[in-house]
Amino acid sequence: MELDAVIVGLGASAQDWAPGRRTLLIGLNDIGRWLTPHHLVVVDAPKNFNDERRQVIADTQAPRAWIYSPVHGDWVQRFKHKPCTETFKINDKAHTQGDYTGTDLSKGLPHVLTTASSACSIAFWKLGLRRLGIIGVDVRSDHELGKSKNLVNTIDKWFAWMRFACESEGGCLVNLSKLSMLHSLPRVSA
């Protein structure tokens, strides 16, 4: 299956994954430990990361970084290689207000609990990509969000909503991870 982009999280399934040479990569947070994405997405403030993770993000080689508006200035001053930066707002209610066609982007990009959701929204609404894969978005019990079944269900419902948006536009949203607790996305071999 040919994808427009792969959103790469920090879960175990991404650690040994080798992307194709022409795969557009949208990485999350300190993904720079394993690979250099074309786009980096950061939602949390620097203070929310330990020193090592904060340094990996600051050292990113990604040519473009998407930073959540309230923390944009905190990150821009830390970036060593000065990627082109974009800001975005988030709206954590968008997916509860009907199908994606009525999404009011002036209130922010659809988001739920994870940086991966912001990355999917950026790919779909900002970059115009429709065939998306995710890997390393495992939301397993050893992850803080995976410890609560309610949180996992909330995240899974959001990804089902995003899958519908992609499919309605002739695309897809698939899970490349065999380890993920997200069940709303079809699994495809990485």
Tens digit of each residue's pLDDT (9 = 90 or more) over 104-145: 667 777 777 789 989 999 999 899 999 999 999 886 555 454
Whether residue 87 is predicted with pLDDT greater than 80 in this model: the reply is yes
Residue 69 lies in a domain: yes
How many distinct structural domains can be found in the chain? 1
Residue 183 lies in a domain: no
Residue 187 lies in a domain: no
Which residue's structure tokens are 């609404």?
A: 125
Name residue 40's amino acid. Answer: L
Q: Which residues contact 142 (CB under 8 A, 6 or more apart)?
A: none
Give the number of other CB atoms < 10 A from CB of residue 124: 24
C-alpha neighbours within 13 Å on the C-beta side of residue 109: 26
Supply the pLDDT for residue 15. 86
Residue 189 lies in a domain: no
Q: Which residue has the higher pLDDT, 151 or 34?
A: 34
Residue 186 lies in a domain: no
Residue 135 lies in a domain: yes
Residue 161: pLDDT band (50, 70, 90) is confident
**DSSP string computed for 72-88:** HHHHHTT-SS--EEEEE
Per-residue pLDDT tens digits for 29-80? 999 999 999 999 999 999 999 999 999 999 999 999 999 998 999 999 999 9
Residue 108 lies in a domain: yes
Domain holding 100, by residue range, is 5-175
182 within 8 A of 140, measured Cβ to Cβ: no
Residue 152 lies in a domain: yes
Strands annotated E in 55-127: 64-68, 84-88, 90-91, 109-110
Supply the pLDDT for residue 94. 60
Q: What is the pTM of this model?
A: 0.89
122 within 8 A of 109, measured Cβ to Cβ: yes
